Homo-oligomer: A and B are copies of this chain.
Amino acid sequence: MLEILILGSAAGGGFPQWNCNCDLCQRARAGDPDVKQRTQSSLAVSSGDGKWFLLNASPDLRKQINDNPQLHPSGGRRESPISGAVLTNADIDHIAGLLNLRESQPLTIYATPRVHSVLASNTVYQVLNPEYVERRDLALGEVTTLSGKDGVGNGLSVEPIAVPGKVALYLEDPTKENFGSVPEDTVALRVTETATGNYFFYLPGCASMPDELSELLRGAPLVFVDGTVWEDEEMITTKTGVKTGLRMGHMHLNGDDGTIAAFADLDIDRKIFVHINNTNPVLDDASPERKQTEAAGWEVGFDGMGVTL
């Protein structure tokens, strides 16, 4: 049995975002029941053995662990059911949380060599003492069995899949095409329970849907998908920013060229949006955009949402 837990369903900045006074953030801050607060982008996954792997480690990880009893220590004096983390890119909302895991706890961190090189070149990540925390490479298109620092498997494997996207904001090189991005900078994951072959896809960032990606996803039992913005120009029209969704490396949900349309004929059993920006109207349970999304067969992920496969 695959157990998946949404630790954080918001995009970078979270919901509400610290410096945002847009209508949605105001309502979230005021406790409007239609507008749930959300922490930043992360899932946890388990094969049901009581051990969990984080898929990305958000800046809100300490709160996310506190809020989810499955992740509380229950054994020794210093212990954790968290075996490690798998990273899909080096965005701050996906790697800052690793700085919370700094207390001499055995862990494994899986990422592409490109993402590992970012961690290696930032001395703050030396708090992850190599005596306890092992960094292991993922190769594009190759299946890797996950295991803890002790080498004991957790019944899970992951395969990183290159998806259209870009390098992390703070590493952009404006002199190069697509800011110097390479395919390893942003990946999706296919996560499989090795005993049963059950699997799902996790795509927290995806800038477009080429045919080969559609074909790969076709017929999947479950997907967690980039739900950053509703419209490409949403941050501009809400006066919260100057960038389009595409400029940030994200497709938009709505319209003929949007994510909802792109997934319409892929015959996927269960489709859940995650990584949702504070400007996206689907965050309002009562909005027409939310109803449209649900009518199209999608769910809008929320913090603490559990999915079993």
Using a CB–CB cutoff of 8 Å, the interface residues on chain A facing chain B are 12-14, 16-22, 25, 29, 37, 39-40, 59-63, 65-66, 71-80, 82, 92, 95-96, 99-105, 118, 121-127, 169-171, 238-241
C-alpha gap A169/B71 in the complex (Å): 26
The 8 tightest CB contacts between A and B, nearest first, are A126-B170, A19-B80, A21-B73, A122-B122, A127-B170, A19-B105, A18-B65, A96-B99
Shortest CB distance A164–B (Å): 22
C-alpha gap A78/B95 in the complex (Å): 25
C-alpha gap A71/B21 in the complex (Å): 12
Nearest residue (CB) in B for A172 is B126
A-B contact pairs, 21 of them (CB 8 A): A12-B102, A14-B62, A19-B78, A20-B73, A21-B73, A25-B73, A39-B62, A59-B99, A59-B100, A78-B241, A92-B102, A92-B127, A96-B99, A96-B100, A96-B124, A104-B241, A121-B123, A123-B171, A124-B170, A126-B170, A127-B169
Is the CB–CB distance between B78 and A124 below 8 Å?
no
Nearest residue (CB) in B for A119 is B124
Measured between beta carbons, the chain B residues less than 8 angstroms from A18 are: 61-62, 65-66, 71, 73, 80, 82, 100-101, 103
Taking chain A's interface residues, is the majority helix, strand, or loop, or is none over half, making it mixed? loop
Nearest residue (CB) in B for A30 is B72
Is the CB–CB distance between B13 and A72 below 8 Å?
no
Shortest CB distance A103–B (Å): 5
C-alpha gap A95/B61 in the complex (Å): 16
Which of these, B75, B99, B127, B241, contacts A21 with CB under 8 Å?
B75
Shortest CB distance A76–B (Å): 7
Nearest residue (CB) in B for A39 is B62
C-alpha gap A254/B13 in the complex (Å): 41
C-alpha gap A95/B127 in the complex (Å): 13
C-alpha gap A118/B170 in the complex (Å): 16
Measured between beta carbons, the chain B residues less than 8 angstroms from A126 are: 170-171
**Are A29 and B124 also in contact (CB < 8 A) when A92-B99, A100-B18 are?**
no
Measured between beta carbons, the chain B residues less than 8 angstroms from A101 are: 18
Measured between beta carbons, the chain B residues less than 8 angstroms from A59 are: 59, 62, 96, 99-100
C-alpha gap A118/B125 in the complex (Å): 12
C-alpha gap A59/B61 in the complex (Å): 9
Is the CB–CB distance between A21 and B103 below 8 Å?
no
Nearest residue (CB) in B for A121 is B123
Measured between beta carbons, the chain B residues less than 8 angstroms from A76 are: 21
C-alpha gap A95/B72 in the complex (Å): 25
Shortest CB distance A79–B (Å): 6
Shortest CB distance A50–B (Å): 15
Measured between beta carbons, the chain B residues less than 8 angstroms from A19 are: 73, 78-80, 82, 103, 105
C-alpha gap A25/B127 in the complex (Å): 22
Is the CB–CB distance between A20 and B123 below 8 Å?
no
